[in-house]
Amino acid sequence: MNIEIRPYQPSDEQSWLRCRVLAFIDTAYFDNVLKEKENYKHPSIELVAIEDHQVVGLIDVEYEVAEKTVCSRGEGLGGMIWHIAVHPDYRRRGIGNQLLVEAEKLAKKTGLNRFEAWTRDDVWVSEWYVRNGFQKVDFYYHVYIDNNDQVSVKAKGLHFIQGFAHYTGGDLEQMKSRYERVHECRCYEKIFS
């Protein structure tokens, strides 16, 4: 295995997009497809893992230069992991760990004291974060609503087909019984030592 970890370059975009789509296809984020890579408002650490001139792994961390401008919690300056993904054909080779370690080194050099990451309730993803020193610190629910659910739309000529909502209420069982697709959205945080 000859994996190179290096900064993302604009010429990587199509390969980055393919890697992300394929990495997410067997997760609770299977339908979160991007047509182009985001550009971040704040500074960022954007790394890719390359093999045979293809992106096989990626991590994007947007970070703060002032508290609470990117991350939702914690004290000091943090970095939000917006994307971390490994192409399914390259999993279980430590690529995600290598990307995280390199991003953490760069984050410490910029004065960050932690990473924050939000993900859904895929057990193997949660276990990966915990194995890599993250702790679950918060959560809420993502609820998908389709046209079979009784949704009232007040605009003439607008017909509801499908929607996505954040649920922070206390009656999760009611949400799960009413809607077919409900995911716990979990916040993981890693404080740097």
Residues 6+ apart with CB under 8 A from 31: none
Does the structural domain 4-137+187-191 have CATH classification 3.40.50.1400?
Answer: no
Residue 85 has pLDDT above 80, yes or no: yes
Phi, psi (deg, nearest 5) at residue 117: -145, 135
pLDDT at res. 6? 98
CA dist., res. 42 & res. 67, Å (int): 12
Each residue's pLDDT tens digit, 144-177: 888 676 676 677 888 778 888 888 887 888 888 8
Q: Where are the domains of the chain?
A: 4-137+187-191, 139-183
Each residue's pLDDT tens digit, 103-153: 999 999 999 999 999 999 899 999 999 999 999 999 988 888 886 766 766
